[in-house]
Amino acid sequence: MSANGEKIERLHRELRENLTPPICEALSDKTVTEIKVGEDGKLWVRKHVIGWEDTREIVPADKRLRSLNTMASLLRKTINEQSPLLSGELPLTGDRVEGSVPPASPGPSFVIRCHAPVVFSWEDYVSKKILLPWQVETIRDHIQRRSNIVISGATNSGKSTLVNTCLGDISASEHVVIVEDTEELQCIAANMSRYKTGDPHPTMLEQVKHCMRRAPDRLIIGETRDKAGLELLKAWDTGHRGGITTVHATNASRVFDRFAQFCEEAGVPPQWRLMRAALDLIIHMEMTTEGRRVKEIMEVEKDDVNTIADIRLRQLGPQLANEITH
């Protein structure tokens, strides 16, 4: 083993030791979706359907700090008073980790967001009552029609998990290009390219621009945010159909306000006409007391798309429901 390989292995051993056995056990538990070690050292885990659980375990401050320092070393980053935030992929598992030390937080703390252990089938979604049969039929139809799909919702509402299932319906003959900051999406397509964003990788905006030269049949963005959203709209409106992305929003109609914000962050007024042309289907998910649920599915009306800037959404159901005008 090379000297660098030996150093990485040593850092991995140190990380496992400092994370403590309860955290390592939680990382291998397929029911756990998130692991939180608070500023007070309390270890909490969030599980599918059940929600947050207090493990009654306390992680000492020195182990929390050493864990964060080791993570930073493996990620080739620094975490200290001058740079108190850490964001990246947990070196042991690739799960997303967000950490902080004083003065950004009262004490060393971190949250690990675990990858979905399996890709749900459409039958799983129906049996778990996340989706109704007509909703499954609608989504699969739009995938086959190469609609551009936005899945909206809050954190932990199940957006990325649904994207994984949608990816399974894409034809093996298509080149799927995925852009994300942490490797969360699971795609088994034979012809798939994956690109990373964020330090030390290019920004989301840069990657989306360059992806247009990589012959994508389907452009998939793990999460759309900031001014890269405008670049995605332009890409989806220039013949690159069949894309999928996620957006944080409180309901389906608010997705367009979020894209308006992305446009403003890029230094241009909200591009309502472009949104109307580029976006086809909005699926909104929520975490309820009964678990994750798809609460809204809306189609974007396309009549006179080149001449009318208003965005009109058609709420879908077993029978067509009311029309909403933005």
Residue 74 shares a structural domain with residue 166: no
Task: Please choose, from the candidates 71, 76, 73, 77, the residue with its C-alpha nearest in 3D space to the C-alpha of residue 94.
Answer: 71
Integer CA distances (angstroms), 127 to 131, 152, 281, in order = 8, 22, 23
Are 98 and 145 found together in one domain? Answer: no
Nearest to 98 by CA among 7, 155, 35, 32: 35
Distances in whole angstroms, Cα of residue 301 to Cα of each of 281, 282, 283, 311:
10, 12, 15, 7
Q: Do 155 and 220 share a domain, yes or no?
A: yes
C-alpha–C-alpha distance, residues 177 and 214, integer Å:
8
C-alpha distances in angstroms, 103 versus 108, 288, 323?
10, 34, 49
Contacts of 80 (CB under 8 A, 6+ apart): 101
Rounded to whole angstroms, the Cα distance separating 209 from 202 reads 11
Instruction: State which of 58, 85, 113 marks the end of a domain.
Output: 113
**53, amino acid identity:** E
- In this prediction, residue 294 carries a pLDDT of 94
Count how many domains the chain has.
2
Nearest alpha-carbon partner for 272 in 241, 307, 297, 223: 307
Same domain, residue pair 282 and 308? yes
Q: What is the pLDDT of residue 307?
A: 53
For residue 151, give the H/E element and its range.
Answer: strand 149-153
Where in the sequence is the domain holding 130, given as residue range(s)?
A: 122-325
Q: For 223-311, where are the alpha helices, taking DSSP H only?
A: 228-236, 254-265, 272-278
- Please tell me the predicted confidence (pLDDT) of residue 56: 94
- Give yes or no: residues 201 and 90 share one domain: no
Same-domain check for residues 93 and 127 = no
Q: Over the range 90-105, which residues count as b (16 or more CB within 10 Å of their CB) and which as e? A: bbbeebbbebbbeeee
pLDDT of residue 2: 62
- Residue pair 226/287 in contact (Cβ under 8 Å)? The answer is no
The mean pLDDT values, 10 residues at a time, for the chain of 326 residues are 69 87 90 92 87 92 94 91 91 88 95 84 93 94 96 91 93 91 82 83 83 87 91 89 95 94 94 93 92 92 65 72 39
Show which of 78, 113, 148 is a domain's final residue: 113
Q: Which residue has the tokens 């086959």?
A: 144
**For the whole model, what pTM was predicted?**
0.79
CATH of the domain at 83: 3.30.450.90
Q: Are 83 and 166 found together in one domain?
A: no
pLDDT at res. 129: 92
Asked if 84 and 186 sit in the same domain, the reply is no
Q: Are residues 140 and 104 in the same domain?
A: no
pLDDT at 49: 66
Report residue 150 CA to chain centroid gap.
12
Please check whether residues 60 and 183 belong to one and the same domain: no
Collapsing DSSP to helix, strand or coil, 288 comes out as: strand
Please tell me the chain's helix, strand, coil percentages from 3-state DSSP, rounded to the nearest 5. 30, 25, 45
> Contact at 8 Å (CB) between 98 and 86?
yes
Residues 83, 149 share a domain: no
Looking at the fold, whether 265 and 241 belong to one and the same domain comes out as: yes
